[in-house]
Amino acid sequence: MSLSNNIIKNIELTSEQMFKASTVSAMLTQIAPLYEYQNGAKTNNVIGTRYTCVFPMYAYEKANVKVIGDLAPNITPEMLVQSPIPVKITGLKEKIYTTQNHSIEISLSAGKIEKEVSNNGK
C-alpha cells in the first residue's frame, strides 16, 4: 500500500471545515436502519440510522449520512411518502478513504439529524 493511500485513510473533516457552519441544511429523501458489520459481513445488529439526503448547496448531490446510536429517529419513513423533508444536520463529519481498488470515497456521519422547523413553526 502506498503512502498516499495511508494518508487518505486518515482524513476527517468537520462541518465547520466543510461548510463553515456547525449545522447543515439538507433534504431528507430516505431513512433506513444502520447495521453493524463484523469482519466485513453485515450482522442483524442495528446500531443507528442511515439517512439519505440531498444537499441543495452542492448541486443537489445525494449522500447517505450515518447516525450511530440513533435507534429511535424522530422522523419515520412514512413521513417521507409524499415528499422530501427539510432537515438540519448537526455534527456532520466527512471521512475520506481509499478502497481496495484505489478509488477515493467519502463516508458521512453526524451527531444528530432533525426536521428543520420553518419560521411558521411547522
Per-residue pLDDT of the chain (122 residues; tens, 9 = 90+): 454 555 566 677 776 776 666 788 999 999 999 999 999 899 999 999 999 999 988 889 999 999 999 999 889 888 898 899 999 999 998 888 887 787 888 899 999 999 988 766 55
DSSP per position, the chain:
--HHHHHHTTEEEEHHHHHSSSEEEEEEEEEEEEEEEETTEEEEEEEEEEEEEEEGGGTTEEEEEEEET--S-SS-GGGGSSS-EEEEEES-EEEEEE-TT--EEEEEE-SEEEEPP-TT--
Q: Is residue 52 part of a domain?
A: yes
Q: Is residue 122 part of a domain?
A: no
Domain that holds residue 10: 3-115
Structural domain total, the chain: 1
**pLDDT for 90:** 93
Query: Which CATH number does the domain housing residue 53 bear?
Result: 2.40.50
Q: Is residue 121 part of a domain?
A: no
Q: Is residue 78 part of a domain?
A: yes
Q: Is residue 9 part of a domain?
A: yes
